[in-house]
Amino acid sequence: MTAVASKPVAARTALPDSVRVTLPRVLRAEWSKFWSLRSSYFALGGMVLAMIVFGGLFALVTANQYPTMPPARQAAIDPAQVSLRGYAIAQLVIGVLGVLVVTGEYATGMIRSSIAAAPRRWPVLVGKAVIFAGITLVVTEIASFAAFFVGQAFLASQHLDVGLGADGVLRGVVGTGLYLTVVGLVGTGIGFVLRSTAGAVATLFGLLLVLPVLGEALPSDWGDKINPYLPSNAGQQVLVVHPDAAATLGPWAGFAVFCGYALLALLVGGYLLRRRDA
């Protein structure tokens, strides 16, 4: 074999027989891919910052203005909710990250390498969705708890702060991370469907932000039936600390509906990924 070994291209590292594609290996590859892009760090860092800074800011302003508020407004303050307000910005960042995990590969041509390495294709989608959701859930929960505690620290100056044990608080804090994660997953699914960053981002925010506004314009007998099921209306039920008892969908029912949208987007994306030319 010396003749072969002297050739520059022969593998000096004999590859083990165990070399083949498995789903856990594709997951490891997607994990490595996620952490080897700067945009992942920027997006996650930006999201944590947005949650803490805006949560703290709203809490600080609320605490400062509290003494001069009319009693009715004082009574309406929901201290836990105030500290979680940053989610409105954080969802934009996580939504874009969820889209970019997929469309970043289409824009650069990387998707062809990904599919060549895992030609059955569905592991690529499963890998991306699972890794993105896992990482994002951990980081958004950290951000959500951090924002809560920072916010409560500011509110403590007026003795407005609440603990995690108060009614609905723990669910609201955990729910904020859950909602943000699923926003990202909807983005990932749409990314596989549309394959372009601009189109997928516009569609995602159209669904999340514009649809509820249009829903408001519906006649009330229609609106009451449709609006609770719109993606963000349903999904945000889980992060509301004190939900309306008369709401059509409770916190977890609403969240389940929102997860259904994410699953639908991923299934359509997966179907198209299998069918279309890469």
Partner 1 sequence: MIEVNGVTKRYGAKVAVDDLSFTVRPGAVTGFLGPNGAGKSTTMRMILGLDRPTSGDVLVNGRHYAEHAAPLREVGALLEAKAVHTGRSAYHHLLAMALTHGIPRRRVEEVIDLVGLREVARKRVGGFSLGMGQRLGVAAALLGDPATLILDEPVNGLDPEGVRWIRNLLRSLASEGRTVFVSSHLMSEMALTADHLIVVGRGKLIANASMAEFTAMMDASVRVRAREAEELRERLVGPGVTVELIAPDVLQVHGMDSSAIGLVACRHAIALDELTPVTASLEDAFMDMTKDAVEYREAS
Per CB under 8 A, residues contacting partner 1 are 4, 7-13, 15-16, 18-22, 25-26, 28-30, 32-33, 36-39, 104-105, 108-113, 115-121, 277-278
**Residue 19 or 213 with smaller CB distance to partner 1:** 19
Q: How far is the CB of 268 from partner 1 (least distance, A)?
A: 19
Q: How far is the CB of 155 from partner 1 (least distance, A)?
A: 40
**Residue 20 or 159 with smaller CB distance to partner 1:** 20
Q: How far is the CB of 113 from partner 1 (least distance, A)?
A: 4
Contacts of 118-121 with C-beta under 8 Å, sequence gap 24+, read 118/21, 118/26, 120/21, 121/273, 121/274
Q: How far is the CB of 230 from partner 1 (least distance, A)?
A: 34
Q: How far is the CB of 79 from partner 1 (least distance, A)?
A: 41
**Residue 13 or 68 with smaller CB distance to partner 1:** 13
**Residue 31 or 229 with smaller CB distance to partner 1:** 31
**Residue 26 or 230 with smaller CB distance to partner 1:** 26
**Residue 67 or 109 with smaller CB distance to partner 1:** 109
Q: How far is the CB of 9 from partner 1 (least distance, A)?
A: 6
